[in-house]
Amino acid sequence: MKKSILILFAIVANVCAMATEPTQYVDPFIGTADYSVTHPGAVVPHGMMAVVPFNVTGSELNRYDKDNRWWSAPYDIRNKYSVGFAHGALSGVGCPELGAIITMATVGDVMPDRYHHGSTYCDEKAAPGYYATTYDKFAIRAEATATERASIERYTFTEGGKANILVDLGTALSNESGAMLRRVSDTEVEGMRLLGTFCYTNQAVFPVYFVARISHKAESTGYWKLQPEMTGIEAQWSGDSGEYKIYKNYAREIMGDDIGFYFALGEMEPGTVVEVKVGISYTSIENARRNLEAEVARCTFDEVCAAAHNTWNEALSKIRVEGGSDDDKTIFYTGLYHALLHPNILSDVNGEYPAMESGATGIAADYNRYTVFSLWDTYRNVHQLLTLAYPDVQTDMIRSMVAMSKEWGWLPRWELYGRETFTMEGDPAIPVIVDSYLKGLRDFDVEAAYEAMKRSATTPGKRNTMRPDIDPYIERGYIPVGLFAQDMSGDNSVSHALEYYVADNALASLAREMGDKKFADELERRASGWKHYYSKKDGAMRPIGEDGEYVGEFDPTAGANFSNTIGFHEGSSWNYTFFVPHDIEGLIKYMGGSEVFTSKLWSVFENGHYDPTNEPDIAYPYLFSRVEGEEWRTQQLVKRLLDENYSTQPDGLPGNDDTGTMSAWAVFSMMGLYPDCPGEPYYTITTPRFERIEIDTEHGTITIATEGDGDYIDEVVLGTKTINKYRISHADLIDDKTLTLKLKN
């Protein structure tokens, strides 16, 4: 019996994972170690739902921080004790959040304590839209697949026994803990879990609602609650572990912290299969049920799994590569997969979503509303990738951001499920929207977007939610130390201002498009303010005090490796000194010419000051191409950095993936293009990893091809014309369709 069941598992797994290129090159386990904090769970592109194995809480074998404060994702491949599947998760973020609504299948007595109802596991498998493992303790094969807003889990009780399905609302990555559960029937439970305070920001609290439905009628159901016992409740209970009480056949709803629900299914024959279908929503329980009904209620597990794979194959096939090694293709397509996880769909099947910062319910009648705008990260390359190959998705994301500005007055910075977390700094929505606009995406309320941008660029600091330190920035051209400390990292004045310069440079371009010449001139003047921070004596950016003088003893390495230092956020002066992407020519001149600029920039890499795990210096390798005759350095460095920082192993990403930003860097770099300045419609060229790349765009297919062998570019041919430059416009690439790079050693 066991042997036939195992053969069945193998057949199902192979059928579900079977795919033509490019999904066969996606390995969801890449990035699940070494703090890259991706996950191998079942999810579709930009899906609201992600069914993710939760293994970062402790067990008797492997104890970690009991409050889940050490982990930013629900899964780490180095851990081997699972407490079930979480429903809804973030990928590649630096702070813990989501990872709630845990379902777990067990055999034996109901054990609410996560340190007892979990299990070690083996035989993990993951593919786009599918995850599976076997719980050693219970001999249960656990599989998961997903749609945009719902999921199906399939549990096979290989040895039979007294089966249970647990729904745990106490375990999560969130700093919030309140929850509610309500028994609907002996096959269904509904409820809500509070989430939020992302990166310990108290203003960002929000609920997630769910409905869970099982395929087998339960013999009994009940709740559990962490001790001390709830007051005012009269119910039968059995089993007191000293930490939990179990309330049997308790018909009403239950609220509180560390609560859960169980379905006791009774004795099962070996090989019995139980399915659990879950719908989630961020607006209401009713919509969670609507999402479940619309997307999985009448579907089998295999149907949903096949649809998820097909969806991924269609999405990833927007970019096709030829040549290169299998490892290259795995790194590339897994990177593209990660870049398509966030932002996420927020609107339910009926179009409802939680409006920005109001608690009201909005309706997205003719577009998908999105959330998880980690813009300080993604404005640098993820949205440029979406604009190039997924313009419809990017347009809906812009519509979402503009709608947010209408709902609460401001464009987002780091928005999470209808709440602004104010994580990191700058005004990154501006270059995202301008970049897309200049590349031809204009099917959104441009006037409203422009007004929102002007609002954040001109409103005085006391009333400016997005730029509270704007007053000295406008008056003096810089922000002095000590004026504004945003979060636990302290004063970030240089980082703030450098981000504002990039945003205002982008806004100047849009202002000219809108015929607002005077404002455009003012913005361009502001964007040149980076010169205040550049100390010619030290050859680097330095913080400035109220008196206009540079502050303190200068150590250009202070702040490296995410340590704190005055003026800079998550980086050192080395990580920010060349972060003037909109005025590299001016920076070259200010530094003393091309030779000095090249030498100083090269030393950043040679002396180990470049940080590939963070954003401010992410485009540094491409800046050499701004100096005639030094383009070879870009081509050499990009190849080296790809080899050093990306692989097919679980630690194959350079640290935190930052909702796809590190992955998008690899995707662009392997295609031979990189958008080196957010808000400017240009790409810098480097040597591709493949012989041929085809990118489907809204204007037709673009082809990038190489001729000859070697690591360096000898000649650039755009269309049929040889060009003497290594930076090309988006418009030229779209119009000419073909970029041919002739290589040499």
Question: What class is the 2-313 domain?
Answer: mainly beta
d(CA 666, CA 714): 23
Q: Average pLDDT, whole number, for the chain?
A: 91
- Residue pair 175/421 in contact (Cβ under 8 Å)? The answer is no
CATH 3.30.2080.10 residue ranges for the chain: 318-744
d(CA 49, CA 103): 14
pTM of the model: 0.94
* pLDDT score of 491 more than 90: no
Residue 233: predicted pLDDT: 40
* pLDDT score of 5 more than 90: no
- Tell me which CATH code domain 318-744 carries: 3.30.2080.10
Percentages helix, strand, coil for the chain, rounded to the nearest 5? Answer: 30, 25, 40
Tell me what percent of the residues of the chain surpass a pLDDT of 90.
Answer: 81
* Residues 68-107 pLDDT 10s: 335 788 999 999 999 999 999 999 998 889 999 999 999 9
Residue 248: predicted pLDDT: 66
What number is the average pLDDT over the span 33-39?
87
pLDDT confidence tier of residue 34, bands split at 50, 70 and 90: confident
- Residue pair 198/42 in contact (Cβ under 8 Å)? The answer is no
Residue 307: predicted pLDDT: 98
Three-class SS state of 631: helix
Residue 559: predicted pLDDT: 87
CB-based burial, 325-346: b 16+ in 10 Å, e otherwise: eeebbbbbbbbbbbbbbbbbbb
* pLDDT score of 237 more than 70: no
- DSSP code string of 232-282: T---EEEEE-SSEEEEET--S-EEEESEEEEEEEEEE-TTEEEEEEEEEES
Residue 488: predicted pLDDT: 38
Residue 73: predicted pLDDT: 84
Tell me what percent of the residues of the chain surpass a pLDDT of 70.
Answer: 91
N-term to C-term CA, the chain: 60
In terms of DSSP H, where are the helices of 582-645? 584-591, 594-606, 631-645
* Residues 315-347 pLDDT 10s: 999 999 999 999 999 999 999 999 999 999 999
Residue 246: predicted pLDDT: 72
CATH 2.70.98.10 residue ranges for the chain: 2-313
Tokens 């429903």 sit on residue: 87
pLDDT confidence tier of residue 627, bands split at 50, 70 and 90: very high
* Residues 264-299 pLDDT 10s: 999 999 999 999 999 999 999 999 999 999 999 999
